[in-house]
A and B are shown apart, each in its own frame.
Chain A
């Protein structure tokens, strides 16, 4: 595996472009995608193309035999940055992920409950009790909520216990159906954040210029090798 050096000026320009995309464009797109119900959004800007894709398995299967295992979460919205145009990886669409973004952080895939809370672009509302889930009327994917707002309830022996939004954002995919039995701590509803939390270590790691440099280097190799986080 050989590496060939690129012009430092080009690299700096890439870093700047990636920073700008990651800081401004991607959070806005995530919010839009979360609210829209669309499967994919793609934006081209200069030499770069940003594509956000929501995986098809948006809703987890309801209630397995093993109630105790949190149902598989849908894959989070995945931004992918692709350099476009000549001179950038030979024009190949080497779709590379930014290391550290979304659930690809540890390369463990999206279904790990342990990954919850590490996603810088969305938060999970979990069940505060064992019972039956009821979404709050008027709360649908796309609804804007503030941290602490009730977004639904768990019926515990006829007594409702509130489910609240964990952050300001936009209600995204629901992992459970209305009236579905849920256990304590079960993942219920995604809240797509309007902006990445400031100072969030994972968010910043994702935007680390050196990481971006690695991304560029990979795409430049033109091998089409997936990034480490690729399942």
Chain B
């Protein structure tokens, strides 16, 4: 096991990683930017180190600042959390070059799974169904038109790097294609420094279902079930749950088993998530793998009782997994609500300010992962996630009841939050029937969605 871990992230995940370190009895130092001097992670940590100004490019995204911080604090491992440097294989490599361990897949594994397009081919070769798409990256307009014709419209333009909806466009006809590709290229270039794009068949009314896996360096792998992340707004997940209401128990098991077989065969290591789209027929298609801990990992923790962050750290330290598939018991139903500093009434505009009062809900099956405290000033420089409210129930109905009750108990005063959208979702008929699709919120419009729930 490591002696001391550098937590190279901020917000709730920095607190979450700190808790895992303490559970494992490993020392930790947390990095922070000048804007995060008063963050909860800094307050809770035994040791904290300022790595740069508020601008993430010069702090949380600066590989040299982060690695230098690990060196000067005497850490032997770096936990990147999610976002920032977590999926940067060059960063992972440089971490290794300085004699430190990157907590995640080893650099060669990250490298193998770095390109979404190559990963689809790799895992497709190990038996995962994939969405019909372009033959490699788009070269020029002629190539793009030819590929789009072959796949059949509508098609989705996707960037090879990154995520979060940047550089993505759905195109219904050849007429729109050229211009859309131009826009996507510049967006992808700006967001990820890589403008490679590919095409995929656009599937209407899909659901987003992902399988959580954990594989140690000895090739022992387990799946920890799936999560449904279909409640999205502009490609951003808002609410996640497990198990997915989209698939029958038999298909869920089949999906998870195919996923773990494929990644073990492809030489994946550490925790990871395989994302699938599920269409109206219940057919699933592999789309990408996330080689990091995810925001919604607590959903799986609630179902399995397994600490995923601790598991991630132990695997990176070279320890065997220590449990088998038979030990993984998926019990009940869990739901996670992302609490964001966003104004639902104003197009989800991010809000910043001081959390004047904060009260986390409690009770059986209720968990709140947050970096808020009364008096905390939310800096305007980073994402708007304030915390995650996670509930567990014996079945989906019980979980929804607990989610509603917990949401009513949550108090965040001083800034605007997206709680109204959660209230609306938890009362929406489509959601209650388990029929949410990734495009529903955008199609209906969030305002109409909230208004409809208020009328009920």
**Would B49 and A131 count as touching, CB distance under 8 A?**
no
User: Which residues on B are within 8 Å of A, measured CB to CB?
Assistant: 29-30, 32, 34, 37, 42, 45-53, 59, 64-65, 67-69, 71-73, 98
**Would B32 and A181 count as touching, CB distance under 8 A?**
no
Chain B residues positioned under 8 Å from A66 (CB to CB):
46-48
Minimal Cβ-Cβ distance residue in B for A68: B48
Contact of B51 among A69, A181, A184 (CB under 8 A): A184
**Would A131 and B72 count as touching, CB distance under 8 A?**
yes
Per-residue contact bits, chain A 184-221, to B (CB 8 Å; 1 contact, 0 not)? 11100000000000000000000000000000000000
Is A67 interfacial (CB-CB < 8 Å)? yes
Chain B residues positioned under 8 Å from A186 (CB to CB):
50
Minimal Cβ-Cβ distance residue in B for A113: B37
How many angstroms between the C-alpha atoms of A183 and B6 in the bound complex? 14
**Would B48 and A181 count as touching, CB distance under 8 A?**
no
Minimal Cβ-Cβ distance residue in A for B37: A68
Also in contact, A68 and B32, with CB within 8 A (given A130-B51, A184-B50): yes
Per-residue contact bits, chain A 68-97, to B (CB 8 Å; 1 contact, 0 not)? 110000000000000000000000000000
Is A65 interfacial (CB-CB < 8 Å)? yes
Per-residue contact bits, chain A 126-144, to B (CB 8 Å; 1 contact, 0 not)? 0001111000000000000
Minimal Cβ-Cβ distance residue in B for A132: B72
**Would B67 and A157 count as touching, CB distance under 8 A?**
yes
Task: Specify which of A66, A129, A156, A184 lies most central, judged by the most chain B CB atoms within 10 Å of its CB.
Answer: A184
Per-residue contact bits, chain A 88-126, to B (CB 8 Å; 1 contact, 0 not)? 000000000000000000000000000000000000000
Distance of A126 from chain B, by nearest CB (Å): 11
Chain A residues positioned under 8 Å from B45 (CB to CB):
68
Chain A residues positioned under 8 Å from B59 (CB to CB):
184
**Would A130 and B47 count as touching, CB distance under 8 A?**
no
Distance of B102 from chain A, by nearest CB (Å): 15
**Would A68 and B46 count as touching, CB distance under 8 A?**
no
Chain B residues positioned under 8 Å from A156 (CB to CB):
64-65, 68
Also in contact, A131 and B47, with CB within 8 A (given A157-B98, A181-B73): no
Chain A residues positioned under 8 Å from B48 (CB to CB):
66-69
**Would B98 and A68 count as touching, CB distance under 8 A?**
no
Task: Specify which of B50, B67, B71, B98 lies most central, judged by the most chain A CB atoms within 10 Å of its CB.
Answer: B50
How many angstroms between the C-alpha atoms of A79 and B351 in the bound complex? 47
Chain B residues positioned under 8 Å from A183 (CB to CB):
49-51, 69, 72
Contact of A67 among B37, B47, B67, B71 (CB under 8 A): B47
How many angstroms between the C-alpha atoms of A50 and B68 in the bound complex? 46
Chain A residues positioned under 8 Å from B64 (CB to CB):
129, 156-157, 159
How many angstroms between the C-alpha atoms of A100 and B353 in the bound complex? 32
The A154-186 residues at the B interface (CB cut-off 8 A) are: 156-157, 159, 181-186
**Would A184 and B65 count as touching, CB distance under 8 A?**
yes
